[in-house]
Chain A
């Protein structure tokens, strides 16, 4: 058979995978065993990393890309997409992850940044990237660098949903406000947001980001997943919230069911029963390091 004219790594193909992950739960896993538990529970993808954010927070030190051997073991263990994290600005880590065939790279503030001025030029890659954002300007800057999926950052490893809510409300609130701006005001919006004018004009017209927006950072219960989905997130990332809880498998499944049925309180009550203790939470005011402040 003759070779057809296939285009890989296009924006449509990259954003397309994010479309397929909507309404689902992406779970942080540190080994093949956890990856299988996540897949059994109905995760749409797993994020392979060496330590979950709450352990990174506890241990301190420099957090880096995971060992390729560990990532490959997770790829072998599951059939769902496997994502992995690279440090902010560390394009060499991203190149390695791409060569391993990971399905999405997360340029993540949870790892220690490698560049304090520049993010990765994500247009240069075939593999798609997800990036965190705390506000609309940050989201648009990441998209202008080639990110195909935005996640609100929240505060990873805390089990505290308050920052995720703050960031979602900030992004979605500004999206609502910017649609009311007239053409002249958009120049100032672009300046305030430190984002490219054409992208600012585009979101002012459509009222939404040009890529999907998911939520991360602090989701620990089915109710948390419902809250952020009702606020406007299109899917959720759960980091420490599953494998730092008392009984990960039932909690993972409950969060999956809650994300599908986020607007059905009766069902949410049913799936929230008897899950044991959630991960211990942290007050934001008591944190030594605010991970969400990383990124520029």
Chain B
């Protein structure tokens, strides 16, 4: 299965390494023709304002919105989560998100870098804990009824799913543990991605 990693900016190389290790073929996506060839997409952490601007100038925003509307499986981490949410609080006034998972998120809701943290998470469906690395992470302020919460920190969702959309406030690509990536790939494959 060809899995794209949005490579406009951020931790895309770490995600590609994780996906490769989990048996997928990672493909860096910077242009619409590259997006058209992938079966699923990972949107990495980085700066959401930078990525949002680059989605516009590279003319990727519309084709991406179309693929998402068609049900392409997507996994967004941190900035990727912000870009996929319905509403972004404390963002820039002109910041636009793709609105494919019914969440409102607050940018840098856990504070500045000195407040960035690591903690062990209980993740629904995974044995043992998963090490969560939170870097200037977004805070979930509202969860829509169709959204499944798969992990929480102090009562706030940090890993959520709605249909083919998976998002995390933390960085599974930095923890050296591919279980969440593997789960994303299995669900993507089960949904029919990569079988055509």
- A residues with a Cβ closer than 8 A to B are 1-10, 12-13, 16-17, 19-24, 39, 41-45, 79-81, 98, 101-104, 126-128, 253, 256-257, 259-261, 264
Contact = CB atoms under 8 A, between A and B. Distances in A.
15 contacts: A1-B154, A16-B174, A19-B45, A19-B171, A20-B10, A20-B46, A20-B136, A42-B50, A44-B9, A79-B90, A80-B47, A80-B49, A81-B113, A126-B114, A256-B54
Contacts, number: 132
Given A7-B117, A13-B116, A42-B53, 6 more contacts: A19-B171, A80-B50, A81-B136, A101-B114, A253-B57, A257-B54
Interface stretch (B11-19, B35-43, B65-73): B11-19
Interface in B91-121: 91-92, 107-108, 112-120
Contacts of A24: 9-10, 46-47, 50
Closest 5 CB pairs of A and B: A103-B113, A6-B117, A1-B155, A42-B53, A23-B9
Contact of B47 (A16, A44, A126, A257): A44
Interface residues of B, number: 44
Contact of A12 (B58, B79, B133, B136): B133
B113 A17 contact: yes
Contacts of A22: 9-13, 46
Nearest to A257: B57
B47 A7 contact: no
A10 B171 CA distance: 15
B91 A8 contact: no
Interface in B137-193: 153-155, 171, 174-175
A101 B47 contact: no
B27 interface: no
